[in-house]
Amino acid sequence: MAAESKVDWVIKACVYKIGTGAWEPGDRLPSLRQGARTWSVDQLTVRRAYQRLQEMGLVRCKPQSGYYLAQNRAVDSLTVHAPMIERFYNEFAGRIEAESKLSVLGVFRFLAMLAEERAARSPECAYIECAEYDARHMAARIAARLGAPCAAFVVEDLVQNPLLLSDHIRILVTTAFHTKEVSAPKVARTRPVVLVSAALADEMMARVVELGPEVHLFCLDPEQGEHVAGDIRAFPGGQSLKFIVKAGRPENIDAAVQEVLSSPDLPPEGRVVVLSTTLWEAVDERWRECERVVPYMHDVDDASAARLAAAIGLPLGVQR
């Protein structure tokens, strides 16, 4: 899982304040200066975190006044479980004090680490896709967004052997393209299936923009490649790129990449090769290690992440 950014860390701290009731609707959030001191970050990080919280519908900004906790369904969704969780805390804290001389805080910290370790070994959800690269990549993105481990499986493998899904996996995740296979009783059994929508990841598009200006996009279906090119063009800086969309085949993709990157028409520094998932899995390892060869990379959209967080039962929802 990628390291947590400072902005994400501040967002998580704020969400916990909201979820535990420490901040109530209408309360003014710490000023940028106060927040910087409280969370040991710079004021720009605090501003970005507050802006993200505003996008999530959790806070509102009053010009010349500051940021305030909103009063809406987004905030209610974070606090709805607070009474039950506080009851759990009081009951277990009472048992710790009555039955041991251990620190309540120390025990809960130990339990948090134990829960993280157990979840890593036995994830509760699994992302299922037709290609192994896509499955692993999207499972990692889900884990990063939700802070909860996610296993990865290939559709064909599960259709042939559904027993690959261990009993600890209780939520299946896939896209609309694979609903039929994943929802089949043989595979899903009684598990709910959560459908997610995926878009090109910002980090992938930023990398293409940085490596351009000439982008050679190889895929099995050129029409689909044009859609990918359109998404990258719409990304900041993408308007200046020149796209060459080509049909590629697994058996000759190595030669095609070699031809692009060794062409004398433009220095290698000005070219980038983008490969669809199938072609990325077929290309030689040396090209996968080349910084100028970029695979399709996708991310889960915000609405899908929120649905999945609710299905898993994360009390504080999506925090990243």
The sign one gets for the Cα dihedral 241, 232, 11, 115 is negative
- For 61-73, letters b (16+ CB in 10 Å) and e give eeeeeebbbbeee
140-177 pLDDT, tens digit per residue, is 989 988 888 999 999 999 999 999 999 999 999 999 98
Name the segment(s) of the chain with CATH classification 3.40.50.300.
122-199
pLDDT value for 2: 41
CATH number of 6-79: 1.10.10.10
Give the chain's length.
320
pTM (2 d.p.): 0.76
- The 10 Å Cβ neighbour count of residue 94 is 11
Closest CA to 275 of 231, 220, 315: 220
Name residues whose C-beta falls within 8 Å of residue 150's C-beta, 6 or more positions apart in sequence: 123, 125, 126, 127, 139, 140, 142, 143, 173
C-alpha 71/C-alpha 173 separation (Å) is 31
Instruction: Flag the least confident range among 96-100, 194-198, 301-305.
Output: 301-305
233-245 pLDDT, tens digit per residue, is 999 999 999 999 9
C-alpha 189/C-alpha 301 separation (Å) is 27
- Both tokens of 280, joined, read 């990325």
23-37 pLDDT, tens digit per residue, is 999 999 999 999 999
- Indicate whether 1 pLDDT > 50: no
Residue 308 contacts residue 196 (beta carbons within 8 Å): yes
Q: What kind of architecture, by CATH, is found in domain 202-296?
A: 3-Layer(aba) Sandwich (3.40)
- With cut-offs at 50, 70 and 90, classify the pLDDT of residue 265: low
Name the segment(s) of the chain with CATH classification 1.10.10.10.
6-79
Q: How much of the chain, in percent, has pLDDT values that exceed 70? A: 95
Residue with tokens 């998580």: 12
Q: Which CATH superfamily is domain 122-199 in?
A: P-loop containing nucleotide triphosphate hydrolases (3.40.50.300)
**Exposed (0-12), middle (13-18) or buried (19+): which is 75, by Cβ within 10 Å?**
buried
DSSP-derived secondary structure letter, 177: G
C-alpha 187/C-alpha 183 separation (Å) is 7
